[in-house]
Amino acid sequence: MKHLFIIVLFFISFSIKAQNNAIAAGEKLVYTASYNMSGILNEIAQVTMETSEAKTSKATLLRLKCSATTYSKWDNFFKIVDLYESYVNPKNLTPYLYKRDINEGDYYKFMKYTFDHKSNTIKSQQRKKKNQEENKTFKINAGTKDIVSTLYNIRLFDYKTMSVGSKKSFTIVFDREEIKAHITYLGKETLSTNIGKKVCYKLAISSSDSVLQGKNNNLLWLTADENKIIVYGKFKIPVGNGELKIKSAQGLKN
């Protein structure tokens, strides 16, 4: 169960550099996250994705916020209260600041990245206990993004121009390390969801590490419209498998 939310985020986070015509401030997407326990899928947590404006002295940024909280009946078994944020350029979702603040059972971790895209470096601040802090600056490759900004970037790609079987490779920075990720376009499929019947783009996700298991066991469905919101996902990891289902959608740009 530990790190379950970050596994879900990693599973759906693959960046594609493009102009932002899909996402605006004021959007709110709510999901139910389920996990397989003893052969039964149980709804264990709510995942919320929200966008808002964030003004600085020099610019107006787009704040991308992802949070997860276990339903109360699971708190005695394993309580999750996780928050991930990325502050990005609203035109292309390039990240400038990233924050991660997670509480999972007795595990706590805070991480902050400040991006310098001119030098391709990140200035990071980490706390594993609230009174212990570690600061480190490290290099990244051009185009590498944090997990939240890449999660939203996947919605910017023009899937209409992709042929079935087309593949893309990307890089995500997580825990001060870069991870290679891959996406394969599998075509269109129609799903019945809590927000209606939707024609969707179906994607297969894989990574260079051992987090995601199998060739086509990790799948993602995005609405085949101008918003391209995630409505359903299936993932398989070393400790089990689960699903992500949309519950509600508000404030869509298109």
pLDDT given for residue 117 in this prediction: 94
Q: Are strands 121-129 and 107-116 parallel, antiparallel or unpaired?
A: antiparallel
Q: Angle at CA 163, nearest 5°, toward 160 and 165?
A: 130
pLDDT at 1: 45
* 3-class SS of residue 9: helix
The residue segments making up the domain with residue 42 are: 4-250
How many structural domains are present in the chain? Answer: 1
Per-residue pLDDT, 13 = 44
Q: Answer for the pair 114, 123: CB distance below 8 angstroms, yes or no.
A: yes
**Spans of the chain below 50 pLDDT:** 1-17, 210-211, 213-214
pLDDT of residue 141: 94
- Tell me what pLDDT residue 159 has: 92
> Residue 180: which CATH number?
2.40.360
Q: How far apart are CA 66 and CA 51, in angstroms?
A: 9
Question: pLDDT value at position 236?
Answer: 74
pLDDT value, residue 18: 64
**Looking at the whole model, is its pTM more than 0.85?**
yes
